[in-house]
Chains A and B, each alone.
Chain A
Amino acid sequence: MILLSAYCAVLLSFASGLLALMMNQRQTLLSISQYTINKLFNGDARCLDWVNKNLEERHFPVFLKQAVFVLLGLSGVFAVIAGLAILLGKGVITDQISLGLPWLPWHVRFDGLSGFFFFIIGIAVCAVSLYGPGYVHSYKENEHPFASLGLFTGLFVAGMLLVLLADDAFMFMIAWELMSVASYFLVAFQHENSANRSASFLYLLMAEIGALAIILGFGVLASFSDGFTFDALRESKLSETWASIAFVLAMLGFGMKAGIVPVHVWLPEAHPVAPSHISALMSGVMLKVALYGLIRFCFDLLGEVHWQWGVVLLILGTVSALGGILYAMMQPNLKRLLAYSSVENIGIIFMVLGLSMIFMANGHPQLAALGFLAALFHAFNHALFKNLLFLGAGIIQHQTHELNIDMMGGLIKGMPQTSKLFLIGCMSISSLPLFNGFVSEWLAFQTALQVDVLDNGVLRSLIPVAAAALALTAALAAACFVKVYGMIFLGQSRSSNAGKAREVKDKGMLAGPALLAGLCFFTGIFPGVIIHLINNVSGQLLGQTMPNDSALGWLWLAPVSAEQASYSPPLVLIGALIAAGVCYWYLRRNPLTVMRRAETWDCGFGGLTPRMQYSCSAFTMPFRRIFAKVWIIDEQISKDMQGAMNQDVAAVHYKLQIQDHSWPRIYQPIAQGVNSLAKQVGRIQTGNIRTYLGYSFATLLILLWVIS
C-alpha cells in the first residue's frame, strides 16, 4: 500500500511530463476524446460539452497547464503520504521491478531515510505545483514551449523520486542521470541567451563528472562484493584504505551535486537561469537528493564510518558555509545570491553530518544520532525556506522584470502579501528564534558542545572552532538577508519598474509560498513533530534514537537531557505575545497620541531621492573591507572632468566586480591543462592516412609481441 503510493508519486510525475507533450496535439486530443465519449458514454452531451469547452483553441493551453500541474501536485501529495506512512510505520519495504535487462531487475527499497526525503520532495513539489500555473503563464508559447518545460519537470521529479527508491547501483545511476539530464534541459530552457547556454553546459559537465565519481565509488564497493544490489554492497568487507577511497569518490560525486566549496561553481551559474519554480526545486530539493546519496553511501553502504571522514566533512562543510554566505552577500542578483546561500546551508548540513560521523566512530551513537538529527532537520528546513525564497524571487521577477537587487526597493507597499511571505523566509534562513531555521541551528550547537566526551585533543579543539564558524555564518546570514529584504522591499523604489510593481493576481502563486511559510512557522513552534519523524530514520540507520521522551515531549526540546539544555518554542511564543501585547495595549490607550505622518527628515537640505539610499554594495562595504581576502575585488572609480582647467567634477563612475577565487585558482588551471594536453595529443594526428596506417601497424606489432 505504502509502496503503491510511492509508485503512484513516480508515475504521476511521469504522467504530468507526458501530458505536457500534448500541448501541440490539440486536434488529436479532441478527436480521440470525442471518439471515446461516443463509444463509452454513448455521446453524453455534458461530457461532450465539457471536452469541447476545455479543448477549445483559447482555453486549451490554460487547461492543459493546469492539468499538468495538478498531476504534478498529486504526485507530491502521494510522495508526502508514502513518506509519512513509512516513517510512522517504521518498516522497510523491498520490491523488484522487471525493467531493464531480463536478468537484472530493478531492486526497490523504501525505508525511513528514503521516506523522509520523499516527504521533503513531496512538500516542495506540492508548493511548486500550486505556484506553477500562474508563473508559466507569462512564457510565450512560440519562444518557450510549455511542452519541453512540463516534460522535463515531470521527468526531473520522477528521477529524484526514483533515486530515493533505488536499491541497486544500476537503478540508482539511471535515476540519477535522469534527474541530472532532465534538470540540464530545464536550466537550458531559456537558451536564447548565450550566458544561459554556457551555464547549462557547465552544469551538465559537472553533473557528469560527479556521476563518474559516484559510479567509481560504487565500483570500488562492488569489487569487494558479489553484485550491484545495495544488499550485496552492504556485505562487502573493505580494507580501511579502500573504504576511504570509496568515501572520497562518493564525497566528490555527491558533493559536486550538493554544491560544496570548491566544486560549487555550477550552482550560482545554473540556478539563476532556470525558471524560478525550477530553481526552487533544484536548490531546495535536488541538493537534498545528493545529500541523501551521501548519507546512504556512507552510513548505510560503507557501514563502518571513520572519524577522519567526519573531519573531512566538518572542514569542507565549514569552508562551504563561510564561503557560501560571504559570496552570497556580495551578489547583486537575487537568484545568484540565493544559490550561494544554498552552498552555505549545504555546508552547515555537511558540518553537522561530519560531527555525527566523528561521534559515531568514537563510540557515542547517541550523540551521533543527535548530529544526524540536526543535519536532517536542517535539510528539511532548508528545503522549506529556500523553496519559499526562490518562489518569492520568482514573484518579484514576474512583477518587476528585474532580478538586480539594486534596482528594487519599496515593494512592501505594492506587494503586501509577497513581502510578508518573503519576510518569513528571510527570518527562517537567518535562524531567528520561533522559526524552523533556529531549531536546527540550535541542535547543531548542542551537538558541537558535546565535544567533551571525545578523547582526541585535536578534535576537541577543532570542533569548538567549527562551532564558532557556524556562529559567524549565522550572523553573516542574518546580515545578508537584512540586506536582501531591506533593499528589495523597504525604502523608496530605485527604478520605475519597482515603483509600478503590484501584487500578483494569481492566487496560486501566493498559495505555494504561503504553504511553505506556514510550515516554516509551524515546525519552528512544534519541532517535535519533525524530530519524531527523523528519530525513526536514525533508529533504522544508526540503531540509535534521541531520547526526547519526557512527559511533555512536544512542548520541550531537550536533546541530551533536560538539565543540559532545553528549549520550548511554544512557551517562548506565548511569552513574546504577552510582552508585545502588554506594551501595545499600554502605549496605545491614549487617543491623543495617534500617529501622525510627516515628511522624512532630510537634514534641512530638502529633496531626498531614492539614489541617496544605501545600495546593495554600500550596505556590504564594511564586510568587503573586513573580509577583503575572500574575494577578488575589482573596484574602479573614474571621474569626468569639465570646466576651466578641467577642475570640476561632472560625473563619477563607480564600477565594482567581485569574483569567486575558485575560478582563477582551480578551474582555469584545469581548463588550461586540459587544453594543452589536447594540443599535445593533437600532434600525433597529422591528418595523413599513411601516418595513421603506420600507427595501426605499430600497434599491431606491439600487441603481437605482448601476446607472444
Chain B
Amino acid sequence: MNWLIAIFQTMLFVLLSPLLAGWIKWCKCYLQNRKAPSLLQPYRDLLKLTHKQPVVSEQASWLFVTAPYIIFSATVLAASVVPLIAVNLPTSASADVIVMVGFFAFARFFLALAGLDIGTAFGGMGSSREMTISSLAEPAMLMAIFTLTMTASTTNLSGAIAHVLNDGMVLRPSFVFALFALILVAIAETGRVPVDNPATHLELTMIHEAMILEYSGRHLALIEWASQLKLMLYGVLITNIFFPWGIAEDFTGKALGYGLLAIMGKLALLAVFLAVAETLVAKMRLFRVQEYLSFAYLLGLLGMLSHIILEASR
C-alpha cells in the first residue's frame, strides 16, 4: 500500500510538472502585458513532440540517443525521493537527499556528454557552461541541505520534513539563510533568469538550450519534460522543507487530498514569485554567475555556522 502511494506520488509529480511550467509562463505573460497561452500548452507541446519523427545528426553515437531516457529516468528517480503530498513513504528511505543530488549529477553528466557528442561549437559551449555552473551550485546546495539535515539529524528528506512539522513554527536563523541559499541555487540549477534564460536562443547567452539544440521529436520531449520536472522538484523542495504545513502524515484519502491541495497552492504562490522576479531582473553575464553562486554558498555557510553556534544543543 505504501509503495502504491509512493508510485502514485511520483506519477503525480511527473504529470503535474508541465502544469507548473504552464502556470509560470502564464504569470509571466500576464505581468509583461502579453496574451498568455493556455495553461495546458506545455502538455500539447510534449504530445506534439512525441508524435514527431526525431531527426538525429549523422555524427551522433548511441550515447546521444540513449541520453534522453537516462536523463528523464534519473530525474524521475530524484522526484520519487522528494515528499510531495505525504511524508514517510518508502521511496524516501531507499535514497536520501545526498542520493537525490547524485541523481541530478547523473542526469547532468549525460546531458553534458550529449552536448559534446555531435561535435558542434554550441554543444561544447553549453556543456562547458553547464558543468561550470553546476559545480559551483552543488556545494552551495549541499551546504544549505546540510544545515537542514543537521538540525533534523537525518539526511532522509521525509524524516527531515517530519521533524520540521513536529517542531512547529520556530524561527531559526539557520533556516532563513538556508532558504535563501536554496532559492538562489534552485534558480541557477533550473536555468532561470538571471543565470540562464529558458526562452532564449541567442548563442552568446545560451546554456541549457545550447546543449539540446540538436534534439528533436521524442528525445526533445523527454529532455523538456525532465527540465520541467526538475523545476517543480526544486519548488517542492523549497516549499516542503521550509513550509511543510499541510503535507499528509497518514495515508487516508482525506489527508492526501489536503496534501495535494496544499502543495498546489504553495507551488502556485512560489511560481508567482518566480515570475515576478524573472520580469524584474535582467539576465546577468556568465562570469557574474560565480559571484552569485558564491553568495549562495556563503549564505549556506552562514546558515551552517549559525546552526552550530546558536542552535545546537550544547
Contacts and interface: CB of A to CB of B under 8 A. Distances in A.
Interface of A: 409-410, 412-413, 423, 427, 430-434, 438, 442, 445-446, 449, 451-452, 455, 457, 460-461, 464-465, 467-469, 471-472, 474-476, 478-479, 482-483, 485-487, 490-492, 556, 562-568, 571-572, 575-576, 579-580, 583-584, 587-588, 590, 592-602, 608, 610, 612-614, 618-623, 625-626
A123 B103 CA distance: 29
A619 B154 CA distance: 38
Contact of B222 (A433, A563, A587): A587
Interface string B272-298: 000000000000001100100000010
B83 interface: no
A666 to B, nearest CB: 27
A434 B77 CA distance: 12
A478 B131 contact: yes
Contacts of B116: 482, 486-487, 490-491, 614
Nearest to A409: B119
Interface string B181-219: 000000000000000000000000000000001100110
Interface residues of B, number: 85
Interface string B109-126: 100110011111101110
Contacts of B146: 449, 464, 467-468
Contacts of B94: 566-568, 571-572, 575
Contact of B286 (A442, A556, A599, A622): A622
Q: Of residues A460, A562, A587, A592, which shows the largest number of chain B Cβ atoms within 10 Å of its Cβ?
A: A587
Nearest to B119: A491
B109 to A, nearest CB: 6
Interface of B: 50-59, 61-63, 65, 69-70, 72-74, 76-77, 80, 91, 93-96, 98-99, 102-103, 105-106, 108-109, 112-113, 116-121, 123-125, 127-129, 131-132, 134-136, 138-139, 142-143, 146, 149-150, 153-156, 159, 213-214, 217-218, 221-222, 286-287, 290, 297, 300-301, 304-305, 308-309, 312-314
Contact of A490 (B119, B134, B221, B286): B119
A599 B109 contact: no
B120 A600 contact: yes
Contact of B132 (A442, A479, A565, A612): A479
B120 A468 contact: no
A487 B136 CA distance: 22
A598 B127 contact: no
Contacts of B312: 452, 460
A161 B106 CA distance: 37
Nearest to A432: B106
Nearest to B218: A587
Contact of B155 (A446, A475, A625): A446
Contacts of B124: 486, 491, 613-614, 618-619
B139 to A, nearest CB: 4
B98 A442 contact: yes
A465 B301 contact: yes
B50 to A, nearest CB: 6
B134 to A, nearest CB: 6
Contacts of B57: 597-601
Given A409-B119, A568-B95, A583-B69, A576 B153 contact: no
B128 A620 contact: yes
A569 to B, nearest CB: 9
